[in-house]
Amino acid sequence: MLAGLNFATLLLSVAVCQGSRYKDIDSETVSVDQGSTYGSLWPLPQQVSLSEVSFKLSSSSFRVVDAEGSSAGPSCNILQNAYRRYYEYVFGNPRKNGHFKRKAATSELSELQVSITSGDSDCDGYPGATSDESYELTVDQPYAILKAPKVWGALRGLETFSQLVYEDEYGAKSINSSKIVDFPRFQHRGILLDTSRHFLPIKVILANLEAMSMNKFNVFHWHIVDDPSFPYLSRTFPQLSQMGAYQPYTHVYTPGDVKMIIEFARLRGIRVVPEFDTPGHTQSWGKGQKDLLTPCYSGPTPSGTFGPVNPILNTTYDFMNLLFKEISEVFPDAYVHLGGDEVDFNCWKSNPNIQKWMDEHGLGKDYAKLESFYIQKLLGIVAATKKGSMIWQEVFDNGVKLPADAVVNVWMGSGLQEEMFNVTAAGFTTILSAPWYLDYISYGQDWQRYYKVEPLDFKGSDSQNKLVIGGEACLWGEFVDSTNLTPRLWPRASAVGERLWSAKDVTDVNDAYSRLSKHRCRMVERGIPAEPLFTSFCRHEYKGN
């Protein structure tokens, strides 16, 4: 999933500094905010009708409540927490109004009633691959009504409601009469964070889950371990993080941390899909798990370095069995990401035992087949834990026999359309990441490039198109940690968020610029240091440093 870049020696291909001849980019060439009829809505709902009639919201009397007949009640944590969260987002820190009593104006909106319409609200469950996120929102007097079959749709609708509220020139909260019918275009809308190349403190992960919910993302793809470090504290194999983390106490995720992240995500309708990438990208695993990695040879003797997971030992599979059993219990999501990318065959080639084994098993010199052998067994191990598998595209490309419910994650930019065609033609569901590697930064408004991607831009049939279940924005961690992650991700990932949620024909970049500028100021106001799109200001600037 990484483009095979060697970070240490990588020097940019684009001579940006030297190439620039102008002190400033000419502002006239960049989009200018001409206002949008859709205000600050982001991502744009499927159907919006806004009227000019406006109502006031009073911080002392406005309430978000369960509607009569809603299948969710006061015991529904997800909703009760969300009501409070969005009340605070709408009204900010409650300020004392003194003792001035004021009669409710006729043009006041006093309640948002939330109704879960399906018999099972999913209140106590986890969001899943097929969770219904649709909702309908009607803002009118005397009540605004939010209807959703499941709590997941209600969460999306609450965010939309909060985005409809604005301040008039006296600072009073107002909302226009409106009617919104909404549902996501793609089911899987993910963000990948990499906690191996740099450790990300819990606080940063939580803040970004919060930002995800503001952008209607619903999958946190947690690339939790990789070559550089193993911060996941395993109960079964504690030595993995003890030896493989950057620091065994300060740079690990304890079971309690993981639980907290999963629950925080659940309350925001976000799935947590962990990735335990093998057989490559596992250098850090080897530190705490002896004999797991392949010893590389230099001529007839071991060189002291190690390669990918050793696929010819039974102990390898015993280990994976236990580890993935634990993972299946710790992470409630129905899917686990198994990685399977960028396996370097040199070490396997150097090892005489592997050569011998391959001869015995008739694999000859075909190391892709050896990799497939490994992945095949791993897929079996994971299937036995009743989990589905997500894998990077190489696994499909190498011809591994995949279970029908496997999800193929396409990350390579070259041959993208062909790959999308082939994967869907073979009947597999697909997630698109290739155009959205947000760790690759460049000067200027690159969000527009992410925005202009059309995920179904390959010549597939309707049934093939349906297999593209969504996409992910990836922020790999070579150059990212808690110091710069949040402003690097937002609002650039917001562009991906709208592409995956909104209707296919929502492609007006100028309209998007206007809404996104306001949306980014809203994120800033909510405490997310989302960076600016261009020369501009926010009424409330970021107060951190």
Partner 1 sequence: MASCTICLPALMMLVLDLNTVESVWPLPQKLAISEERYPLSPTHFNFYYGEDQASIMTDCSLLDSAFTRYFPLIFPDLTSGNGVLPSTEEKAFSLVVTMNQKDCDGYPNEGSSERYQLNVSAGQAVLNSDTVWGALRGLETFSQLVQQDEDGTYFINKTEIEDFPSFQYRGILLDTSRHFLPLKAILNTLDAMAYSKFNVFHWHIVDDPSFPYQSRTFPDLSSKGAYHPMSHIYTQSDVRRVLTHARLRGIRVIPEFDSPGHTQSWGKGQPNLLTPCYKGSSPSGKFGPINPASALSYTFMSQFLKEVTSVFPDPYLHLGGDEVNFSCWQSNPDVRAFMQKMGFGRDYTKLESFYMENIVNITSNLNKTSIVWQDVFDYHERIPKDTILHIWKGLPAQYKAEMSRMTKAGHRVLLGAPWYINHIAYGQDWRISYNVQPLNFPGTEEQKKLVIGGEVSMWGEYVDATNLSPRLWPRACAAAERLWSDESQTRSAEAAFPRLQAFRCSLLRRGVRAEPLSPGHCRDEYRGI
Residue from 96, 99, 101, 539 that binds partner 1 (CB under 8 A)? 539
Distance, CA of 60 to CA of 221 (rounded, Å):
39
The contact pattern for partner 1, residues 11-50, with x = CB under 8 A and - = no contact, is xx-xxxxxxxxxxxx-x-----------------------
Are 498 and 44 within 8 A, CB to CB? yes
Question: In this chain, which stretch among 118-126, 340-348, 349-357, 476-484 interacts with partner 1, using CB under 8 A?
Answer: 476-484
Question: Which one-letter amino acid corresponds to residue 146?
Answer: L
SS3 (DSSP) at 424 = helix
Q: Does 95 bind partner 1 (CB under 8 A)?
A: no
Residue from 41, 76, 207, 495 that binds partner 1 (CB under 8 A)? 207
Residue 75 Cβ vs partner 1, minimum distance, rounded to whole Å: 32
Hey, which residues between 323 and 362 contact partner 1 (CB under 8 A)? none
Question: In this chain, which stretch among 65-73, 125-133, 168-176, 433-441 interacts with partner 1, using CB under 8 A?
Answer: 433-441
Q: What angle do CA 16, 20, 22 make, to 5 degrees?
A: 150
Residue from 444, 456, 511, 525 that binds partner 1 (CB under 8 A)? 444
Q: Does 542 bind partner 1 (CB under 8 A)?
A: yes
Q: Tell me the residue length of the chain.
A: 545
Q: Does 191 bind partner 1 (CB under 8 A)?
A: no
Q: Does 167 bind partner 1 (CB under 8 A)?
A: no
Distance, CA of 372 to CA of 361 (rounded, Å):
13
- Residue 435 CA to its chain's centroid (Å): 14
Residue 209 Cβ vs partner 1, minimum distance, rounded to whole Å: 11
Hey, which residues between 257 and 316 contact partner 1 (CB under 8 A)? none
Pairing of strands 173-182, 47-57: antiparallel
Residue from 104, 364, 443, 466 that binds partner 1 (CB under 8 A)? 443
Residue 342 annotated to the active site? yes
Q: Which of 111, 263, 326, 342 is catalytic?
A: 342
Strand partners, 135: 182
The residue among 60 and 443 lying less far from partner 1, judged by its C-beta, is: 443
CA distances 50 to 38, 176, 413, 530, Å, are 8, 7, 40, 27
Are 424 and 372 within 8 A, CB to CB? no
Hey, which residues between 232 and 251 contact partner 1 (CB under 8 A)? 246-247, 250-251
- Residue 116 CA to its chain's centroid (Å): 26
Strand partners, 472: 190
Q: What is the 3-state secondary structure (H, E, C) of 70-120?
A: CCCCCCCHHHHHHHHHHHHHHHCCCCCCCCCCCCCCCCECCEEEEEECCCC
Residue from 488, 499, 518, 519 that binds partner 1 (CB under 8 A)? 488
Residue from 78, 151, 154, 528 that binds partner 1 (CB under 8 A)? 528
Angle between helices 202-214 and 151-164 (to 10 degrees): 80
The residue among 87 and 246 lying less far from partner 1, judged by its C-beta, is: 246
Distance, CA of 408 to CA of 471 (rounded, Å):
11
Question: In this chain, which stretch among 145-153, 204-212, 233-241, 273-281 interacts with partner 1, using CB under 8 A?
Answer: 204-212
Q: Does 435 bind partner 1 (CB under 8 A)?
A: no
> Which residues are catalytically annotated?
342
Contact footprint for partner 1 (CB under 8 A): 5, 7-8, 10-12, 14-25, 27, 197-199, 201, 203-204, 207-208, 228-229, 246-247, 250-251, 439-444, 477-484, 486-488, 524, 527-537, 539, 541-545
